[in-house]
Amino acid sequence: MWIASLLAAIMLAYANGANDNFKGVATLLGSGTTNYRRALFWACSTTLAGSIAAAWVAQELLDTFSGRGLVPDAIASAPAFSASVGLAAAATVLLATYLGLPISTTHALTGALVGAGLIHAANEVAFSHLGTAFVAPLLFSPLLAMICAAAIYLIFRACRLALGVDKESYLCVGREIIRSELLPATGERLFKPLPALQPPIDSDQSCQQSYLGNFLGIPIGKALDLLHYLSAGAVGFARGLNDTPKIAALLVVSSTLTPAARYELVALFIALGGWLSARRVAETLSHKVTAMNPGQGFSANLVTAFLVIIASRLGMPVSTTHVSVGALFGIGVLSDSANKRVIASIVCSWVGTLPLAAVLAAILCWALMVP
């Protein structure tokens, strides 16, 4: 049965990487800052670094997602319980990934813990602990991210205008980039082809923006791109920090793996899942939630990284998905470019994640208990 727990953790780690790894760098692709392959490499590299660091920084999350406190310790340490929780959460996340929907692995794990707990000890599930330790952080984190992202973007925008930094637009037509310039004399907009350049993206994108001017002798556009990359990397690091202990908790029942080996195994398969299977969720987050420019993407990433790192350090099980999508939605509402239909479908998938994982875990738990 411990082998089943091991396979469940590997499946969930792969599913987590496929669904979650691109969330930090979606703004790099969506704003036209870089292409898919470069963004994916940066996502997997920084997430791997966060996963390794989690062994020292986010130990409390491992204890939270082992099931202790939610169900009796004897049940939480049973291999059948861990196997059913991991397999149910993995199936839920893999289904969402196939549909291109960014859902929360944290939500899936929470639902699976409840479903398996109800089968093993229906009268001993601590629902009060569920509300304070799980549900509250998951509900409030996307709202907080929306507010913070909008506020940060307004502050940065005010600073940009105060410094006199202007923007220029590029229209992508096939494989040619056309620069849009405003003529001072007439106020008309002139489009100049730039055939020497190639669009820094490999999917449909109609328009890009960059920033003009220098600050302390440094080109504003290049400086912002660097900061944007760093903020995206911070989100990837934070995601690895927050999600790895939750999945490694499934391996606590295995006495053959050292604590370090648990984290390393999960980290490896999270990176592998992201590298091989992230495309569908990447397309949704990069191009379907909201249009964005580099400044907006940087603002969203900054908020996401800050909130998730703080939550990981405090042992709060927030969802990187909820925080990152909430931040993007806050920017989209502010710029009036949010795709409300796509947001609605994502929210519906969030609502369905917990009950689906709970039902699957209950079925698997019952099946594993049958003599």
Query: What does the pLDDT read at residue 137?
Result: 62
Residues 267 and 321 in one domain: yes
Q: What is the CB neighbour count within 10 angstroms for residue 320? A: 32
Higher pLDDT, 316 or 28: 28
Compute φ and ψ for 118, nearest 5 degrees: -65, -30
157-193 pLDDT per residue, tens? 887 777 666 555 444 444 444 444 444 444 444 444 4
CA distance 269 to 316: 23
Which residues contact residue 178 at a Cβ distance below 8 angstroms, ignoring those fewer than 6 apart?
170, 171, 172, 191, 192, 193, 194
Q: Are 27 and 300 in contact, with CB atoms under 8 Å apart?
A: yes
Residues 307 and 187 in one domain: no
Residues 47 and 179 in one domain: no
Q: Of all residues in the chain, what percent carry a pLDDT higher than 90?
A: 22
Residues 207 and 257 in one domain: no
Residues 244 and 190 in one domain: no
103-161 pLDDT per residue, tens? 988 888 888 888 888 887 666 665 555 555 556 666 778 888 888 888 888 888 887 77
> Residue 218 in 3-state DSSP?
strand
Most confident by average pLDDT, 55-69, 246-260, 290-304, 354-368 = 354-368
Q: Identity (one letter) of the amino acid at 189?
A: R
Q: Please determine, for residue 371, whether its predicted confidence score (pLDDT) is greater than 60.
A: no
Q: Total domain count for the chain?
A: 2
Report CA Rg, the chain.
22
Residues 357 and 262 in one domain: yes
36-74 pLDDT per residue, tens? 999 999 999 999 999 988 877 656 656 565 555 566 666
Domain boundary among 211, 228, 245: 211
pTM here? 0.76
Q: Please determine, for residue 201, whether its predicted confidence score (pLDDT) is greater than 70.
A: no
What's the average model confidence in pLDDT over 332-336? 82
Domain limits for position 269 = 2-160+220-369
Q: Long-range contacts: 130-136, Cβ < 8 Å, 24+?
A: 130/70, 133/64, 133/69, 133/70, 133/317, 134/110, 134/317, 135/110
Query: What does the pLDDT read at residue 366?
Result: 84
Helices (H), the chain: 2-20, 26-30, 36-57, 59-64, 73-76, 79-98, 105-121, 127-130, 136-162, 220-248, 259-277, 279-283, 294-314, 320-335, 340-369
Which residues contact residue 82 at a Cβ distance below 8 angstroms, ignoring those fewer than 6 apart?
5, 8, 9, 67, 250, 251, 252, 253
Query: What does the pLDDT read at residue 132?
Result: 54
Query: What does the pLDDT read at residue 173?
Result: 45
Compute φ and ψ for 200, nearest 5 degrees: -80, 35
